[in-house]
Structure 1
Amino acid sequence: MEARTVLLALQEMKGIGWKTILKLISEVEDLSRLPRMRPDELTALGLPEGRAAALAGSLRETDAAALEDGYAKRRIRAVTWLDEAYPPLLRETSQPPWVLYALGRLELLDRPAVAVVGTRTPTAYGSRTAEELGRTLAEAGAAVVSGLARGIDGAAHRGALSAGGGTIAVVGGGPDVVYPPEHRPLHAELAEKGLILSEFPPGTRISPGLFPLRNRIIAGLSLATVVVEAALRSGSLITADQALEESRDVFAVPGPISSPKSRGANELIRQGAKIVTEPADIVREYPSYFALPAARSSASGSLPTLPPLSPEEARLLAAFPDGPVTLDALLAGTQTNFGHLHELLLNLVLTKRIKALPGAAYAKIEDCRQ
């Protein structure tokens, strides 16, 4: 059984959580060995005896072909942490999902993303603003990320779909499970023109406890999170907090000081979030990744010119050897600290100079335009 198939099987086992998989990935160099390991060998890795025995038995009984066939019948593709297609920004987070189940246009994971989140019960002002943000960001080349919830989420998705479908819905259940029920038409349109994403296997029923886990993926996929309308105890503020924890930007749309639905967003601005007075405010913050439609000038069918490298980025790229290089090796060979090196690497990944590989390694993309 291939290592990625083992990871898929672990993700779907009852009683096996994120921390257990982290332990196995950390302790077992090649996950393809796991199905051949005895329960006592798994116990030696730190697993409780009962869990070790259950895991060993389940892996031996796993039918890899049936697992993949089950996804294919639902038009779902699985992207594991071991795959090159795994989103690079999400890979760098403190708790990356081991598996992403995707329904729709998987290529949207290659686009730089911006999250747009907010209340489930918006005002007319909030709905219009979220839709305009979704449309303008999608026109500028962003993947608009949200959670397919009522209110602001749905408005942001619809705005992006109206501009060609550059939107990703991260859901709190299986990617094939429709919630809320009134979003069935939107779910179907996203599956066709956008992308529905989840770390929960197909068929997983929606549960309130899964939404906070969903929120960390929304923040982790994105360069920035934009809060449109949110009360002081809104789940959208949790997403904003998770974005800050991952050193991502947070924006907020100001609202009337008399509106309870704007108190959370206004408080974010008071605490230092970047203010949004028009969608172009966000686009202008990332000239390396996005461009307003009027600013586009590349000829049809030609490759876009990549933004120029900073002197530090140029020196780092020049230091890359032929073939993969680990983060530790780059850190040892450069005169910089971990945090700054990490920032430089992210910029090189997002501008398609290098690609992130499993195991905290990187390699140059030779055919990109300099």
Structure 2
Amino acid sequence: MDISNIVLAALHESEGIGWKTIERIMHHGGIRSEMLHYRAKDWEACGVGVETAHHLEHNFMLTVESVTNRMSDDDTNEPRQQCSSASNLTNDQKIRIITALDTLYPQRLHSSSQPPWVLYAIGDLQLMEMPSIAMVGTRLPTAYGKKVAAVLAEELAEAGFAVVSGMARGIDSVVHDAVLARDGRTIAVLGGGIDVVYPPENRSLYEDIADKGLILSEYPPGTKVRPGFFPRRNRIIAALALGTVVVEADARSGSLITADMALEAGRDVFSVPGQVTSPKSRGTLDLIKQGAKMVTCGADIIEEYEIWLPKGIKDSYNKERQEDHFAAGENAGLTNDELEIYHRLEQGPGSLDDLLEQTRWDFGHLHSVLLSLIIKKQITQLPGAIYKII
């Protein structure tokens, strides 16, 4: 068992020790086995504050013992054994501890500006080294955003990329679900402890990713979700991927933080355009203005990373095929007028009066188009003459 991994993991889990404190310790000679016997003055000499140094003198070995009990060494290249387990996880889905000193630590994170010192993982660790694309967006997407996110995620998965997101409500969940439905590979980076499912309604999705993909967090098991954790989580999402795709985002969306962190990490940023009148498209349209590559189909992303594609995949993925993918969904075969109403409702439910004003059609024609869409099971009517996509 490599003692340096244990010491680093124990420091990471110690009270009062944050990313910058560990950075100072690294600059004062790095992680050493002698730290197991350090007194307060020794910790202070490494750049640790007085109060924290005294806490470490009395409590560090307890943390070391806890970490040691959750890590084992088997003289092979197999991942670290179980550290702890979230409820309902099988024996093959145990939490593993990976430190920045570990050979299992993903290389792309090493090259980022603030790589996490410790990662907790559940699932297939090989996914960390796969070519991957991050996909993020609003927690309250429109029907248009959901559809585009799902199609792009499916195309990326079929092309052989792992898709990284944050398992949040909205676009994140749509992305993970779409990849899993295609038997693809997906990575969820959490904003809380590795065994803390958030949002709670994503329990089933969490278990599916643990079984078929990879779950990562830099927070120890049991750490409750806090708002400030999500921006820090975003830097890991951005750094793990070759590029980040923003699907829908308003002007102050957290997804834009991920885009900024992708640029900071030297990664590409892609943006999906939306209607200029939609608040959910303001952030993505601003990204395009600032130089992000506009995405209208999966090939717009895939063509940037052809070198990563398995042999034979390149020729089978072209723009024509992927553009057809958007048109070949459940709304294929609709008339032009039906498509116009469908695309308007993709931005959110609309009233009969709203649609009359937007289209400038006469009442009889609009009513017949809406009735046809209802019969074709594309939309449904809500109380108050409100229409929405099914």
Pair 16,244 (structure 1): closer, same or farther in 2 beyond 3 Å:
same
The answer as to 2:69 corresponding to 1:66 is yes
Q: Give the Cα–Cα distance (whole angstroms) in 2 for the partners of residues 151 and 48 of structure 1.
A: 41
The higher radius of gyration belongs to: 2
The answer as to 2:177 corresponding to 1:136 is no
Matched residue type, 1:71: C
The answer as to 2:105 corresponding to 1:79 is no
Residue in structure 1 matched with residue 209 of structure 2 by the alignment: 190
SS in 2 for 1:225: strand
Q: Give the Cα–Cα distance (whole angstroms) in 1 for the partners of residues 139 and 291 of structure 2.
A: 24
Match of 1:281 among 290, 293, 300: 300
Identity %: 52
The answer as to 2:214 corresponding to 1:205 is no
Matched residue type, 1:188: E
Q: Give the Cα–Cα distance (whole angstroms) in 2 for the partners of residues 219 and 125 of structure 1.
A: 24
Q: TM-score, normalised by structure 2?
A: 0.73
Q: Give the Cα–Cα distance (whole angstroms) in 2 for the partners of residues 98 and 57 of structure 1.
A: 23
For 1:128-277, list aligned pairs within 5 A: 128-277=147-296
SS in 1 for 2:83: helix
1:291: Cα distance to partner? 5.3
Gaps of 5+ in 2: 72-80, 87-93, 317-390
Q: Give the Cα–Cα distance (whole angstroms) in 2 for the partners of residues 21 and 13 of structure 1.
A: 11
Q: Give the Cα–Cα distance (whole angstroms) in 2 for the partners of residues 249 and 234 of structure 1.
A: 19
1:205: Cα distance to partner? 1.1
1:31: Cα distance to partner? 2.5
SS in 1 for 2:228: helix
SS in 2 for 1:208: coil
Residue in structure 1 matched with residue 126 of structure 2 by the alignment: 107
Q: Please report the RMSD computed on the Cα atoms of aligned residues, expressed in angstroms.
A: 1.8
The answer as to 2:9 corresponding to 1:8 is yes
CA contact (8 A) 2:306 2:314 kept: no
Q: Give the Cα–Cα distance (whole angstroms) in 1 for the partners of residues 30 and 224 of structure 2.
A: 33
Pair 116,5 (structure 1): closer, same or farther in 2 beyond 3 Å:
same
Q: Give the Cα–Cα distance (whole angstroms) in 1 for the partners of residues 113 and 262 of structure 2.
A: 11
Pair 196,296 (structure 1): closer, same or farther in 2 beyond 3 Å:
farther
Gaps of 5+ in 1: 298-370
SS in 2 for 1:286: helix
